[in-house]
């Protein structure tokens, strides 16, 4: 297998979002959980997205895992590696976008790396280096209340500079709109000033095409699914990849009981949970009880076993920003988050033990904890449920074939849970 594109994603929902985008652009793509072991049978593909759970861990560990993934991808022929970050630039001043970017840039030998989280299909645009989420700047969006990495600055040149050892410059929309050569000229100017990373504006998909074209001159880029779209289109346009016509895989129905788990506290997920109450049984976990011990997860499993044969169920830990802040002030941010993620993993494991093979999970960290516990080594990409969220079909798992949907907290319409289950047969 010789890869045309290697990708390292800093969380599992982000990886499935990117794998979805690449697939829709005609690249045969597989998502692996961590660096795959040699005995994992992978189909012949153009792109591999290695999913890490490295967004909110200690920066040194994130660097080490990302470099191991890069080494594996380069060893399979990947000339270009995309480090996939969140379209809302989820990170703190301690990292992990800057430290991982610095390390991968050093490995790649690139003088400068292009960085953009723009993903216009989901309303993420970048102008003058400022990230907008729909109509508002990042720092006024619901991301200001994220439980793990609240975002308080929309100026990404500043945000990245605080995390990185290199200086950070800007390629603005006016330059970009003059085409690929103008971007190349601006990058040369930045390199001349000793600048090693450039935030690049992008508002429309056509901007991402220009960016993808220029990014292929380099060995590394950093961004969300939008730059993935640009790279994929550039690979196809240059003839380096022959677009696969069928796109997403389909397969035999999996059937059996279905369940949804929500650990995301985003505004979008809270609205989706409220909506799901109309169509399925919903259990709201008590976060304080989760932190207290394993009894709350056992209560959830007992509740589920009474209902699961009657139709899909949803179990949610999600709370409003005030409630999240109150829990964190009592127990600490990381301890509260970790306890809830592990309870969700316990619940997922219990559900699978009772026969659930179709599982929807809302939340990136939550999805990471669940997929790790289920020891699923990889996924093929199926139909698209909502922008950035495909149906995933497991490969190589001990529990037999499963269908999963790993939803980024912010993605999907209000009917997301029932939309997902309709496509997960
Ligand atoms: N009620 C709650 N109070 C505090 N933290 C919570 C609560 N419910 C979930 N969490 C934690 O919040 C974090 C949500 O992150 P994540 O799953 O990545 O969602 P998103 O995709 O919205 O970022 C997880 O660490 C999760 O365990
Ligand atoms: O780029 C995005 O917005 C998503 O792919 C993503 O990374 C989502 O992260 P979570 O919100 O933590 O699921």
Is the Cβ atom of 318 under 6 angstroms away from ligand 2? no
d(CA 270, CA 268): 6
Is pLDDT above 80 for 163? Answer: yes
Ligand 1 within 6 A of CB of 318: yes
Could you tell which of 97, 121, 411, 412 is best to mutate to test the pocket of ligand 2, judged by most ligand atoms within 8 Å of the CB? 411
Q: Report the candidate in 8, 53, 76 with the shortest Cα–Cα distance to residue 370.
A: 53
In this prediction, residue 248 carries a pLDDT of: 58
pLDDT of residue 112: 98
The mean pLDDT of 132-147, rounded to a whole number, is: 96
- Residue 17 beta carbon below 6 angstroms from any ligand 2 atom: yes
- Which domains are delineated in the chain? 5-238 (3.40.50.10840), 258-423 (3.40.980.20)
Assess contact for 201 and 126: CB atoms under 8 A. Answer: yes
Of 245, 311, 315, give the one whose Cα is nearest residue 280: 311
Nearest CA to ligand 2 atom 8: 408
Residues 6 or more apart in contact with residue 50 via CB below 8 angstroms: 6, 7, 8, 9, 15, 32, 34, 35, 36, 69, 72, 73
The residue-averaged pLDDT of 4-26 equals 97
Q: Which of 10, 13, 123, 407 to mutate to test the pocket of ligand 2 (most atoms within 8 A of CB)?
A: 13
Q: What pLDDT is attached to residue 139?
A: 97
Distance between CA atoms of 407 and 169, rounded to whole angstroms?
Answer: 32
Q: Which residue in this structure is represented by tokens 């997902």?
A: 420
Q: Is the CB of 324 under 6 A from ligand 1?
A: yes
Q: Which token pair is 135?
A: 């109509």
Q: Whose CA is nearest to atom 5 of ligand 2?
A: 14
Candidates 390, 337, 392, 391; CA nearest to 366 is 337
pLDDT per residue as tens digits for the range 71-127: 999 999 999 999 999 999 999 999 999 999 999 999 999 999 999 999 999 999 999
Torsion of CA 335, 338, 343, 349, to 10 degrees: -160
On whether the CB atoms of residues 327 and 291 are closer than 8 A, the answer is: yes
pTM, 2 dp: 0.96
340 alpha carbon, closest ligand: 1
Give the atom of ligand 2 at the shortest distance from the alpha carbon of 225: 1
- 298 in the Ramachandran plot: left (φ > 0), alpha (ψ -120 to 50) or beta? alpha
Closest ligand 2 atom number to CA of residue 85: 7
Q: Are 134 and 123 contacting, i.e. CB atoms less than 8 angstroms apart? A: yes
How high is the pLDDT of residue 40? 82
Is the pLDDT assigned to residue 249 strictly greater than 70? no
Q: What distance in angstroms lies between residue 266's CA and the mean position of ligand 1's atoms? A: 8
For the packed helices 205-215 and 180-192, what is the interaxial angle rounded to 10 degrees?
A: 60
Query: Does 221 sit in the ligand 1 pocket, CB within 6 Å?
Result: no
Helical ranges in 138-252 per DSSP H: 156-163, 173-176, 180-192, 205-215, 225-237
The pair of three-digit structure tokens given for residue 103, joined into one six-digit string: 């390390």
pLDDT digit string (tens) for 205-218? Answer: 999 999 999 999 99
131 has a pLDDT exceeding 90 = yes
**Which residue has the CA at smallest separation from atom 4 of ligand 2?**
14
Provide the pLDDT for residue 247: 56
């Amino acid at each position: 297998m010789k890869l045309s594109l290697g990708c390292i994603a800093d969380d599992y929902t982000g990886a499935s979002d990117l794998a979805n985008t690449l697939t829709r652009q005609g690249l045969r793509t597989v998502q692996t959980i961590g660096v795959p072991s040699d005995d994992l049978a992978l189909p012949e593909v153009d792109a591999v997205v290695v999913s890490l759970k490295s967004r909110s861990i200690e920066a040194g560990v994130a660097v080490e895992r990302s470099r191991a993934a890069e080494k594996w991808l380069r060893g399979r022929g990947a000339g270009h590696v995309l480090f996939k970050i969140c379209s809302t630039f989820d990170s703190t001043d301690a990292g992990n976008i800057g430290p991982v970017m610095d390390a991968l840039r050093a490995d790649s030998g690139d003088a400068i790396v292009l960085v953009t989280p723009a993903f216009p299909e989901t309303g993420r645009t970048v102008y003058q280096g400022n990230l907008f989420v729909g109509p508002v700047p990042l720092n006024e969006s619901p991301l200001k209340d994220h439980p793990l990495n609240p975002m308080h600055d929309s100026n990404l040149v500043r945000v990245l500079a605080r995390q990185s050892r290199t200086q950070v410059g800007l390629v603005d929309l006016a330059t970009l709109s003059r085409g690929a050569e103008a971007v190349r000229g601006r990058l040369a100017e930045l390199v001349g000033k000793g600048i090693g990373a450039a935030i690049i504006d992008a508002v429309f998909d056509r901007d991402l095409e220009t960016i993808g074209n220029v990014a292929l001159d380099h060995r590394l880029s950093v961004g969300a699914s939008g730059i993935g779209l640009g790279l994929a289109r550039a690979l196809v346009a240059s003839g380096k990849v022959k677009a696969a016509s069928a796109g997403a895989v389909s397969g035999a129905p999996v059937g059996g009981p279905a369940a949804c788990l929500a650990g995301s506290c985003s505004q979008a997920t809270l609205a989706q949970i409220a909506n799901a109450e109309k169509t399925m049984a919903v259990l709201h976990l008590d976060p304080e009880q989760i932190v207290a011990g394993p009894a709350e997860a056992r209560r959830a499993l007992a509740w589920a076993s009474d209902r699961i044969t009657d139709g899909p169920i949803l179990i949610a830990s999600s709370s409003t920003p005030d409630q999240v802040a109150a829990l964190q002030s009592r127990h600490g941010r990381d301890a509260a988050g970790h306890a809830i993620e592990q309870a969700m993993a316990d619940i997922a494991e219990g559900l699978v033990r009772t026969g659930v093979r179709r599982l929807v999970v809302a939340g990136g960290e939550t999805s990471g904890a669940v997929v790790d516990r289920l020891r699923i080594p990889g996924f093929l990409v199926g139909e698209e449920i909502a922008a950035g969220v495909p149906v995933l079909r497991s490969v190589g798992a001990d529990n037999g074939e499963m269908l999963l949907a790993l939803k980024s907290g912010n993605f999907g319409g209000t009917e997301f849970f029932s939309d997902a289950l309709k496509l997960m047969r």
